[in-house]
Amino acid sequence: MPKLAKPLGALAVKNLKDEGLHAVGTVSGLHLSISASGARSWILRTKIGTRRSDIGLGAYPAVSLALAHEKAQAIKESIKQGIDPVAARTRSRNTVEWTFERCALEYIKLHRTSWKNAKHASQWENTLAAYSGDRDR
C-alpha cells in the first residue's frame, strides 16, 4: 500500500521553498514542483496502464491548491474509466485547423478590397505559391 502524504493547506503550500517535488496530500500523486529558478507548477504523478506518467496541471499560483485537487481528481477518474489523458491531450494538440495555405488565402480575401487593382491580388497569390512550393496554383 502506498504511503499517504500529509495533506497540506494553502498556506503550507505557499510557504514551501525547497527545490524538488513536494507531495501535497488529499489526492494521491499530486505534487508541487519547485524548480531551481523558483518556478512552481502542479504535477500529477500516476500510472496509466503499465507506465508512470507525470501530468502537468498548470503553474502555481495561477492554479490554486483547490483547483489542482479538482483537476487531479478528474484525471484520476478518467484513467479509471480507461481514458489515457496524455494521449488525448497529444491528439488534440496535433489537430491542425489552420494550415499555411488557408491562412494565406484568408489574408488575401480580407485585404483584396484595400489593394489598388486585381493585379496586386494576383501578385500575392503567385508569390505565395512560388515560395511555399505550391506550383499548381
- Per-residue pLDDT reduced to its tens digit, 14-38: 778 888 888 887 788 888 888 888 8
pTM equals: 0.61
List the chain domain ranges: 10-83, 100-132
Identify the CATH class of 10-83.
alpha beta
Give the whole-angstrom CA distance, residue 133 versus residue 18.
Answer: 52
How many other C-beta atoms are found inside a 10 Å radius of the C-beta of residue 52? 10
